[in-house]
Amino acid sequence: MDFDIDSYMKIRKAWVDEALTNIIRVKDQPRPLFEAMSYSLMAGGKRIRPVLMMASYEIFKDNSQEILPFACAMEMIHTYSLIHDDLPAMDNDDLRRGKPTCHKVYGEAIAILAGDGLLTEAFNLLSDPTLGINWPLPTQLSVIHEIANAAGIKGMVGGQAMDILSEHKDVDVETVKFIHTHKTGAMIRASVRVGALLADSDNNALRLLTQYGESIGMAFQIVDDILDVEGDTSLLGKKAGTDNQLEKATYPHVVGIEESKREAQKLIESAQDSLITFEERAEPLRQVADLILKRNT
Amino acid sequence: MDFDIDSYMKIRKAWVDEALTNIIRVKDQPRPLFEAMSYSLMAGGKRIRPVLMMASYEIFKDNSQEILPFACAMEMIHTYSLIHDDLPAMDNDDLRRGKPTCHKVYGEAIAILAGDGLLTEAFNLLSDPTLGINWPLPTQLSVIHEIANAAGIKGMVGGQAMDILSEHKDVDVETVKFIHTHKTGAMIRASVRVGALLADSDNNALRLLTQYGESIGMAFQIVDDILDVEGDTSLLGKKAGTDNQLEKATYPHVVGIEESKREAQKLIESAQDSLITFEERAEPLRQVADLILKRNT
């Protein structure tokens, strides 16, 4: 098999980057707000969530460029969450993807508003009536609901709150699992599911892809925790070791680094199992799962 | 006419309060996040935006309790904007509606997340598939789009950013108008419009109600500016005089207090003119417009 995951991801990242540039135009007023949103959106993200959405869609359909508005909305919500997480009152990070964080460049007030703006514009984009040309309205509406659920208090926001509330505390593995499934897992799971929903997949396929999404979401965050312990600041583009400093509730912290690695490995194997029935059409999803395990940034 | 606006508003405020209590349940995890959202939602707001939405709906339909989910979503977005506006990095307010602001009680991190949570849950509520029982999907979708537009970078968030960026600066009346139409005006306009959209009003009625919404939205913010100069901190439930302290771009600041009062009066008269054709069914909207002009809190 000569499938090249690097060029596969590079092509899709370029699509997403171009589409995002057309959504947030820095020439609009008030200029610093639009600049701040664009700065964080274009700071060199790997576009994992959009790639997952498109790869999931491609199991059923050929042209995943069709779903770029949905993929962009997901990336906008992800970017807003990074901007708010980095704020001094939250994780107080100065570096993100090797660059100064949004509030370091534009100040805290504009960073908060840039986050609020990206979140709101994601829903503006998702509810665009012209999308109705390509998708039945019930599908469009269920995608909005799926994403709002994943991003909200029963998903990402709830996980981030639990994360903050668990700092400097003795937490158990259940709390760490709550944080990981909510803070990171929910949006990764939703990215995979939205791809399937937009392709009008059957219930069994949706169930298998949901399992895949849940497994790689958890693995992704465990690897993130491991990288914070073992990773290299210059490769990561953010400071390693900050979890320990804030006494964050991490997987290595509660079960140790070796057990964390075994768990991540097991989750990726389980994710691969969920893809068997899709045969060669799931090759991109397979390779993304492997990348998640092997990444060093 | 023996229409009593006080009891009219009181009844609708009670409906909204009860519905909101059922949407955000403080027993969910992580508890402090849900408590913070509930604290700010239940801090004694007048529910002007939900009342406007219901009063607008009642021009065409009898039972405005039907639209409570939409009215609550609007109030959740309004509340999120207050929580974020009050943050130290923004207006740095300690008091809101006579009570300590959200970050004073729950800390900055949870206040930021409570705001993020309320905004996201509003879209979760608006995209609930069970609403489709009462409304055609195109209506539900256009309401989501209307609200996302009003709340976002071309509306409320854009206005708040311009407001922050104009502090301590010499601004002209055009900039003040930009701030007012975006920061406050857009959500008030949308509240009135959504009531009409949900009632499936004809285009001419929607146009007139849009005019009404734009006029009272601008008047509302001018009166707010005037109250900050002339109001009483104990009545306002927030500190008077803070605009001046931050050298905010306000109407009295650029055109003087007397001209501001004349302008507010003129806007309310213009709003009343837009309602003539609706005869007695617009009585609640008429009285709300008068209240906006005469309020002292």
State yes or no: pLDDT of A238 exceeds 60.
yes
State yes or no: pLDDT of A235 exceeds 80.
no
The per-residue pLDDT for range A48-61, each reduced to its tens digit, is 999 999 999 999 99
DSSP-derived 3-state class of residue B2: coil
> Of chain B residues 2-41, which have a CB less than 8 A from chain A?
28-30, 32-34, 37
Q: How far apart are CA B111 and CA B59, in angstroms?
A: 38
pLDDT for the residue A25? 85
Of residues B127 and A233, which shows the higher confidence score?
Answer: B127
Task: Name every chain A residue with its beta carbon within 8 A of the beta carbon of B138.
Answer: 129, 132, 137
pLDDT for the residue A236? 67
φ/ψ region of A167 (left if φ > 0, alpha if ψ in -120 to 50, else beta) reads: beta
pLDDT for the residue A30? 95
Give the domain extent around B160. Answer: 5-294
Q: How far apart are CA B156 and CA B74, in angstroms?
A: 12
Answer yes or no: do B33 and A115 touch at CB < 8 A: no
User: Within 10 A of A194 (CB to CB), how many other CB atoms are there?
Assistant: 29
Cβ distance B146 to B77 under 8 Å? no
Residue of A nearest to B146 (CA): A124
List residues bridging with A95 in a β-sheet.
A100
Q: Which two tokens stand for residue A129?
A: 């009536």
Any B CB within 8 A of A46 CB:
no
Any B CB within 8 A of A145 CB:
yes
DSSP-derived 3-state class of residue B171: coil
State yes or no: pLDDT of A79 exceeds 60.
yes
What pTM was computed for the model?
0.96
The per-residue pLDDT for range A248-286, each reduced to its tens digit, is 889 999 999 999 999 999 999 999 999 999 999 999 999
Burial B259-296 (b: 16+ CB within 10 A, else e): ebbeebeebbebbbebbeebeeebbbbbbbbebbbeee
Strands B95-96 and A99-100: unpaired
Any A CB within 8 A of B200 CB:
no
Closest-CA distance, A165 to chain B, in angstroms, reads: 8
The per-residue pLDDT for range B266-289, each reduced to its tens digit, is 999 999 999 999 999 999 999 999
Cβ distance A282 to A275 under 8 Å? yes
Task: Name every chain B residue with its beta carbon within 8 A of the beta carbon of A179.
Answer: none
Answer yes or no: do B116 and A84 touch at CB < 8 A: yes
Closest-CA distance, A280 to chain B, in angstroms, reads: 34
Answer yes or no: do A29 and B164 touch at CB < 8 A: no
pLDDT for the residue A68? 98
Any A CB within 8 A of B90 CB:
yes
**What DSSP line would sit under B227-287, residue for residue?**
HHHH--HHHHSS-TTHHHHTT---HHHHH-HHHHHHHHHHHHHHHHHHHGGGGGGGHHHHH
Any A CB within 8 A of B249 CB:
no
Q: How many domains does chain B have?
A: 1
Task: Name every chain B residue with its beta carbon within 8 A of the beta carbon of A120.
Answer: 119, 148, 151-153, 157
Closest Cβ–Cβ partner in A28, A90, A148 for B124: A148
Cβ distance A285 to A58 under 8 Å? no
Phi, psi of A249 (to 5 degrees): -80, 95
Residue with tokens 């929607």: B206
Cβ distance A74 to A123 under 8 Å? no
pLDDT mean over B201-224: 97
Cβ distance B271 to B210 under 8 Å? no
Whether the link from the prior residue into B30 is cis, omega within 30° of 0, is yes
pLDDT mean over B73-79: 98
Q: What is the CATH number of the domain that holds B37?
A: 1.10.600.10
State yes or no: pLDDT of A35 exceeds 90.
yes
Closest Cβ–Cβ partner in B110, B128, B151 for A164: B110
pLDDT for the residue B247? 79
pLDDT for the residue B8? 97
* Amino acid identity for residue B108 in this structure: E
State the maximum Cα–Cα separation within chain A, in Å, rounded to a whole number.
52
pLDDT for the residue B286? 98
The per-residue pLDDT for range B47-63, each reduced to its tens digit, is 999 999 999 999 999 99
Closest-CA distance, B108 to chain A, in angstroms, reads: 6
Cβ distance B153 to A30 under 8 Å? no
pLDDT for the residue A249? 82
Closest Cβ–Cβ partner in A108, A142, A158 for B129: A142
